[in-house]
Amino acid sequence: MTLTDWGQLLLLGAIWGGSFFFARIAVAELHPLVLVMFRVAIAAIALQLYLAIRGPSFRLAFPHAGLFFLLAFTNNVVPFSLIFAGQTELGAGVASVLNATTPFWTLILANAMTSDEKLSWNKLAGIGLGVAGTAVMIGTGLLAGLGGPVWAKFALIGASLSYGIALMVARRFKGVPSPVIATGQLTASTIIMIPVVLLAHGPAGLFSASPPVWAAVLALALLSTAFAYILYFNLVASAGATNASLVTLIVPASAMLLGFLFLGERLELFEIGGVMLIGLGLVTIDGRVFGRR
């Protein structure tokens, strides 16, 4: 990856790490499915306005309508649902580690389905170090969810696998600008989520949240979704699916560091050690320090 790619990856990790703060505020009053619906819908509207005012034409998305719905299912609807189901039974620590396996599944899929993203020892070693670093960073909190049911663990592994499949789908948008891909995915996700929420939750109380919660929803939609997905799909196009998936290793470390810097949360030695392992994993994947790419 180039230095620009690494910069985009770290920025994306920081943005998605910060999204936990906004989500913590929003879920206090909104059902998770309702939050997902508003998050993707507001982001889709914002991106449609952006494309109408100054972006490339959304008509570029029309020939790829089927792919956008497949991307919406694999990148939003399926993983969000599986994560929500799995976390009802498992601790956050186990969930974070299983989510951090996304680069591994992406690497396996890319090796089988692409000609330019093959397995390599530095990628396997780097991803292994990253997953281990995530586990170390969580520390003894990881043990809290180890006794959960097997189906819940498979649900979270399924979510990680779904993200990997989504990255394979995203690779098929050759020549489509990243703002158009982000807009198409989020528009399709909105079309899917509205009937799901109305059937599961009903229309009552959908708009009854307090102003601070709506502010958090807007931050999630505009920064952590609309802008973040433009960055994400740009990274897929420039650095490849496997490299883009590395963001799942950065997000937990980013959330922890942001909590330390801005919320005064305590930073433990094992957390610092975990972050260092994740960093070593990323350096190993990059390969420049060890003389290979």
Please count the structural domains in the chain. 1
Tokens for 218?
A: 């807007």
Q: Is residue 271 part of a domain?
A: yes
Q: Is residue 292 part of a domain?
A: no
Helix %, strand %, coil % of the chain (to 5)? 80, 0, 20
Q: Is residue 223 part of a domain?
A: yes
Give dist(CA 1, CA 238) in Å, integer. 8
Please name the amino acid found at residue 94. V
Could you tell me which residues come within 8 angstroms of residue 35 by beta carbon, excluding any fewer than 6 positions away? 23, 26, 27, 217, 220
Give dist(CA 142, CA 84) in Å, integer. 18
Per-residue pLDDT of the chain (293 residues; tens, 9 = 90+): 888 999 999 999 999 988 878 887 888 888 888 898 999 999 999 999 999 998 788 888 888 899 999 999 999 889 888 887 787 777 666 777 788 889 999 999 999 998 888 888 888 899 999 889 888 887 766 665 566 788 888 888 999 999 999 999 999 998 899 999 999 999 999 999 999 999 988 888 889 899 999 999 999 999 999 999 999 999 999 999 999 999 998 988 888 888 888 877 788 888 889 889 999 999 898 766 555 44
Give the pLDDT of residue 225.
Answer: 94
> Could you list the residue range(s) of the whole structural domain that residue 49 is in?
3-286
Closest alpha carbon to 7 in 282, 278, 253:
282
Q: Which residue has the tokens 């952006």?
A: 50
The pTM (predicted TM-score) of the whole model is 0.86
Give dist(CA 266, CA 264) in Å, integer. 6
Give the pLDDT of residue 81.
Answer: 83
